Amino acid sequence: MKKKVVILGAGFAGLQLARHLNSDGYEITLIDQNNFHQFQPLFYQVATARLEPSAISFPLRKVFQNDRNIHVRVSEVKSIDIDGQTVTTESDSHEYDYLVIATGCTTNYFGNENFEKYCFPMKSTNEAITLRNRILQNFEDTLAAPPNEREEIMNIVIAGGGPTGVELAGALAEMKKYVLPKDYPDMDFSALNIYLVEGMANTLQNMSADSQKMSKEYLEEIGVKVLVNTLAEEYDGTKLKLNNGTTIPTKTVIWAAGIKGNVPDGLPSDAIVRGQRIKVDRYNQVHTLKSVFAIGDIAYMESQDYPKGHPQVANVAINQAKLLATNIKKTDKGLPMEQFTYKSPGSMATIGKHKAVVDLPSLSFQGRMAWFTWMFLHLMLILSVRNKFFIFVNWTISYFTNDTTLRLILKPTDKASPAR
């Protein structure tokens, strides 16, 4: 009889687990709120109109259309019944022999209700589209705005100087320099200010000192106002107050300052640790629970090399998924499981054309070569050949023209979604 495996989440971890566990011995149910996988590292390019959402989104049923043992369900998980080994969604329930939680993370506003109410997150394709609409609409609004309202429309603030914040700031600065003056010849874009606010002493705090230094220099070189050792304190939708007493008038604050886990209801409280992550052992098994695993960003695993948990990046998620698929098969054959060991291949971030930083285990480099390295490795991570091709074509056109043709404001209609 086939073992029932329920996977919650179709991000890097969930998708890879389903693909590597797929065999005649397992009946796999993959549950996600969306019917597509999202390539999160390029959300910022959707938000800045460099790529279409379809270029970084992959329909799950297309991915698994030839896999008869994998069943995709588009639904929201409501709760987990550990004793009954059942997952309940908004539309159905699913029994399992193995449960794998790969629900990833969402934006962490650290309890500030106004940040949550007024700031723009960027943790999904939908949120990236919403942000793109807002950024483009800002420039349309500026044309008709009275002089006393233009400053708050033309100031864009990014909270958080990690890779997401740095890459987004760089993309916006390049848009300001190369694209917007051609689209709006009757506007003065010297009044457009892009702020990057970082609470620590450096941008890209987890990278090497050289990469930190150069990322800040690159950003300032292309016109970004970088404020380090600075925290956002309060925001009312039009004015952002910083902890140094400065107030920035702005209608657009992009929140890239923190994440927390998407933890389903039903897990014991002692399994949840700092950052809303799920505590797992070296086999990715959830603390105190049998046949329940967590992988990817949601999983908190301590090891000698990573005493505070592994970095929440795609490479960790992919490797945990691959090993867990192997370990589940070993368990069913009565063989011992293998512990997860992670050797970081490095980290990188891009700031703009010919401006990027790359840290490898034994080498750190910046500039043009780092930029081409970033582009190549991200292109290779894209799932389908078709999407690789379209992204490559888009990037090639943008490289030679410093322009794209994707600046569409696509607003939702007032029609309600069909009742479930």
Q: Which residues face 11 on adjacent strands?
A: none
Residue 266's H or E segment, with its range, is none
122 vs 418, higher pLDDT: 122
Given a cut of 90, whether residue 161 has pLDDT beyond it is yes
Q: What percent of the chain has pLDDT over 90?
A: 89
Q: Where are the domains of the chain?
A: 3-107+259-332, 114-257
Per-residue confidence (pLDDT) for residue 420, from 0 to 100: 52
The average pLDDT across 97-108 equals 96
The average pLDDT across 250-270 equals 95
What fold does the segment set 3-107+259-332 form as a domain?
FAD/NAD(P)-binding domain (3.50.50)
**Using one digit for the tens of pLDDT, what is the confidence trace for 195-244?**
999 999 999 999 999 999 999 999 999 999 999 999 999 999 999 999 99
Q: How many CB atoms lie within 10 A of CB 129?
A: 20
Per-residue confidence (pLDDT) for residue 1, from 0 to 100: 82
Given a cut of 80, whether residue 294 has pLDDT beyond it is yes
**DSSP letter string, 108-135:** --TT-HHHHHHSBP-SSHHHHHHHHHHH
Query: What average pLDDT does the chain have?
Result: 94
User: Which two structure tokens, joined as six digits, stand for 125?
Assistant: 């394709």
The span from the CA of 28 to the CA of 33, in Å, is 17
Given a cut of 60, whether residue 92 has pLDDT beyond it is yes
**Using one digit for the tens of pLDDT, what is the confidence trace for 29-55?**
999 999 999 999 999 999 999 999 999
Asked if the 114-257 domain carries CATH number 3.50.50.60, the reply is yes
Q: What percent of the chain has pLDDT over 70?
A: 98
Q: How many CB atoms lie within 10 A of CB 64?
A: 20
Q: Distance from CA of residue 13 to its chain's centroid? A: 13
Q: How confident is the model at residue 129 (pLDDT cuts 50, 70, 90)?
A: very high
Judge whether 3-107+259-332 and 114-257 match in fold: yes
Q: Which residues face 28 on adjacent strands?
A: 5, 70
CA 49-359-47 angle, 5° bins: 10
